């Protein structure tokens, strides 16, 4: 996976990446779990901000979370 691609199973981390403006590149199922794929410049580095206390607007984060839940459960 290149520096411009990133994947995660963590819905909260994915919502953070979506808030940061990274493009949803797709999803893949791994058994009962879903892996969410992102594309964008330095996405891997920016995703670390989720674990290092980087902030995003609360409303944007909640909206991104709901968007991702819909994305995961669509067929």
Convert the pLDDT of each residue in 26-39 to its tens digit: 999 999 999 999 99
Q: How confident is the model at residue 1 (pLDDT cuts 50, 70, 90)?
A: low
Nearest 5°: the CA angle 71, 47, 42 is 105
- The model's pTM is 0.91
Q: Using an 8 Å Cβ cutoff, are 9 and 34 in contact? A: yes
CA atoms within 13 A on the CB side of 9: 6
Rounded Cα–Cα distance for residues 50 and 46 (Å): 8
């Amino acid at each position: 996976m290149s520096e411009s691609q990133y994947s995660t199973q963590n819905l909260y981390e994915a919502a953070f990446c979506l808030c940061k403006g990274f493009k949803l590149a797709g999803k893949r199922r791994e058994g009962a779990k879903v892996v969410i794929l992102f594309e964008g410049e330095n996405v891997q580095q920016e995703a670390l901000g989720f674990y290092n206390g980087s902030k995003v607007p609360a409303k944007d984060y909640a909206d991104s979370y709901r968007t991702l839940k819909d994305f995961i459960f669509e067929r």
